[in-house]
Structure 1
């Protein structure tokens, strides 16, 4: 079966004292309001990432921790709200940033491990993630009066290092995080005139008018009741229950994508992206593996970037690092989703993305959240996916070259489609999944069965289309 084996290496890590790194020069003291997209309860947690770097002969004698610490201080001059603290307005619980300049947490550490011991096929959860990150991972967190960013630089015995970070999701989305990291690396490399892209606040772009205007239906926020009495395992979140969980990174190269594409309806066969194909495929396989009751509604939630034209009434300016996304939501009875062919799931996904791509949809989400005082985000029987293959994570270069791995450090509420390679070095998409161990075994079987069930002639035809859109080739992994 197409997969990337988990790396289970453990190693000791010695952390130094926590330091507060503040902006290198004075910054404005002010209060900054978050948007009504930023200010959702579901975003009150710290999103983590890890970047693994090999040693570089050109950097011999340089301490990456000291280089990055200095660059961080410079970057915070431009991203100075990150050096502040969240305050909560009463009685609405609205979040604002008090730009105090207090700083962010920075930790130097050393690990008794070499990069070669970790291999080239890293995927979340990365080895010893709990030791490479400053804070315990959790899908929820108290974000009031806490640092908004935690950074740890862990030196390896080979001269390489790991850059680990945790940032409050309310302050930035994935695109914004990469923009900040890019600025940080520019200062680390001594790029003249950095930052190349100036940060833009402008959170009023996604702040609701008063009274709030809701111009679209938002079924993605409609509750899905938990059904623990049904006797089925619905617990798929990190803090739920006492189950033993398993992690697995599924790999989809050109041939696997072609096998899935061959099962798409003619109208979507060429139009559907790799993300759409794999997302619908895994939604269906995952729902079957979790053995939901046939009448249970199951959902697929997709992050839709509002920076793309027609998803926002006003253009999102370059440099905007706030949250600029909506959730596209597809729903179906579990029995129908698993019984009907793959094309049914793909059509539901395509329709959900089309709804969320309408002009003004994201502003309507902002109005909905303001009117409902940040409604809870349903998690039961929901598969949440995001595409980071084009986010630029593998271009985050502090001067030591491209990372061996760059992306999420752990698997929490969402599954991220990432750039990756299998053991043979073939390029493709990695889809890390976290499920109860028994369900994971069923998921592996479902993926194997569905890929093997594609018609060979159709696969060969679709493979020609897929390879034309891929950087590199590949053959179908042994099933």
Structure 2
């Protein structure tokens, strides 16, 4: 029997007036330059994450709103660019005016117990607008707050922390660095973050003489296919699917022995790309793509990303093929394409990618029948602990357009696995859900043997 959502009449959110949180002490007033990775048109939007914490008897009498506000104020002394505002510089390039105006904070109370929300705390969470109030005129890019946080206390003593940040300022790893710095102050009563933040955005700029030296399929756009997707985009619905060890092994059984040592994320991505494409029922001659976001932190020998770097630091190689090949060939075909795309990301490829963005005016990633995966499984969203323990769920809220994400999550039996959120039109979603159902059914049969 499906769990029923609390009705709008039974879920009442009471909010105090939103306020600006500023650094605990005066911070430098200056202009900070962004990297050429940060300053892409494709990152000029806000990303939202939700964290749910259960009641903890050891924290009885501690107000999460108060201690998190205090922790934020102390953390922003070190992360003071986040309290600034974006401004336009030469050639439309964005910069950060570190004016110390602050980040937005909302204190809220829900009249239900956290347990009432059940599995709906996971993406696509239908309560995002309740748990993350969109303060009027706060979601722009220029001269708007760069971060918005809402703490919502539940009647049981648990609470939700919602965070929205301008993607230009940081990626998932950068956001977790910031949140863990807050936990240093809240949980450990520290005097400074255990990992000090590093700006140094210039290390990810284009070379003095930009030069495109590699092929970059991630920027190849086909107008007709893009228009077809944009038309379909208006009717997308969203579902999440859980893949534990058993489901991954069931996928692994679909490839020959020589490929069974492949990583679980590569196997899962291959499976999703193939069956998502089948579900869309495309013309066999249609060109389809798979874009996989790869962090470059600790990846290259000569390009040293400092430990506390909280800017955007990733590449997005793209596999390309015809829909007919992808859907009719064995799963190994998709797997090899994805491995090839990922393996091409070396330092020269990355430098060439940054140079291309500067030379061609910060183009966006191709949308033409693309499927993008951002793997946040090891980012640490599920480990952010303010003293109440690890979150019941922590991570991204919803997928966007053709982009999906992997997030670390436990199912209703307490088993940890990979949660994937997918967008598809209704008919395609029915076909895709049937594939997942059959995979799950097969797992249940094997478990009984």
How would you bin the TM-score normalised by the shorter chain? over 0.9
Structure 1 residue runs without a partner (length 5+): 454-458, 460-473
CA distance 1:7–1:425, shift in 2 (3 Å): farther
Structure 1 match to 2:125:
126
Q: Deviations over 1:76-114 (max 9, x none)?
A: 000000000111114x11011010000000001111221
Structure 2 match to 1:274:
264
Structure 2 match to 1:470:
none
Q: Deviations over 1:444-479 (max 9, x none)?
A: 1233446778xxxxx9xxxxxxxxxxxxxx98689x
Structure 2 match to 1:172:
170
Give runs of aligned pairs for residues 179-190 of structure 1, distance below 5 A.
179-190=177-188
- The Cα shift of 1:246 comes to 2.9
1:326 aligns with 2:315: yes
1:354 aligns with 2:343: yes
Structure 1 match to 2:109:
110
Structure 2 match to 1:234:
229
**8 Å contact from structure 2 (residues 123, 397) kept in 1:** yes
**8 Å contact from structure 2 (residues 247, 439) kept in 1:** no
CA distance 1:265–1:451, shift in 2 (3 Å): farther
- The Cα shift of 1:318 comes to 0.6
Structure 2 match to 1:38:
38
1:410 aligns with 2:410: no
* Of 203, 208, 211, the match for 1:205: 203
SS of the residue corresponding to residue 51 of structure 1 reads strand
Structure 1 match to 2:86:
86
**8 Å contact from structure 2 (residues 13, 109) kept in 1:** yes
TM-score w.r.t. the length of structure 2 is: 0.92
Give runs of aligned pairs for residues 378-397 of structure 1, distance below 5 A.
378-397=366-385
Structure 2 match to 1:150:
148
Structure 2 match to 1:13:
13
Moved more, 187-196 or 153-162: 187-196
SS of the residue corresponding to residue 312 of structure 2 reads coil
- The Cα shift of 1:422 comes to 2.8
* Of 190, 194, 197, the match for 1:196: 194
- The Cα shift of 1:266 comes to 3.7
SS of the residue corresponding to residue 165 of structure 1 reads strand
State the distance in 2 between where 1:420 and 1:476 align: 23
CA distance 1:303–1:378, shift in 2 (3 Å): same
* Of 264, 286, 295, the match for 2:285: 295
State the distance in 1 between where 2:327 and 2:440 align: 15
State the distance in 2 between where 1:191 and 1:360 align: 43
CA distance 1:130–1:23, shift in 2 (3 Å): same
**8 Å contact from structure 2 (residues 217, 317) kept in 1:** no
SS of the residue corresponding to residue 119 of structure 1 reads helix
CA distance 1:303–1:196, shift in 2 (3 Å): same
**8 Å contact from structure 1 (residues 253, 476) kept in 2:** no
State the distance in 2 between where 1:323 and 1:6 align: 38
Q: How many residues align?
A: 442
Give runs of aligned pairs for residues 308-327 of structure 1, distance below 5 A.
308-310=298-300, 313-327=302-316
**8 Å contact from structure 2 (residues 104, 145) kept in 1:** yes
State the distance in 2 between where 1:433 and 1:8 align: 21
Q: Deviations over 1:45-94 (max 9, x none)?
A: 0010000011121222222111111111111000000000111114x110
State the distance in 2 between where 1:69 and 1:190 align: 15
State the distance in 1 between where 2:404 and 2:431 align: 18
TM-score w.r.t. the length of structure 1 is: 0.87
**8 Å contact from structure 1 (residues 120, 404) kept in 2:** no
Q: Deviations over 1:106-136 (max 9, x none)?
A: 0011112211112267421224111111329
- The Cα shift of 1:225 comes to 2.2
State the distance in 2 between where 1:98 and 1:126 align: 34
**8 Å contact from structure 1 (residues 21, 104) kept in 2:** yes
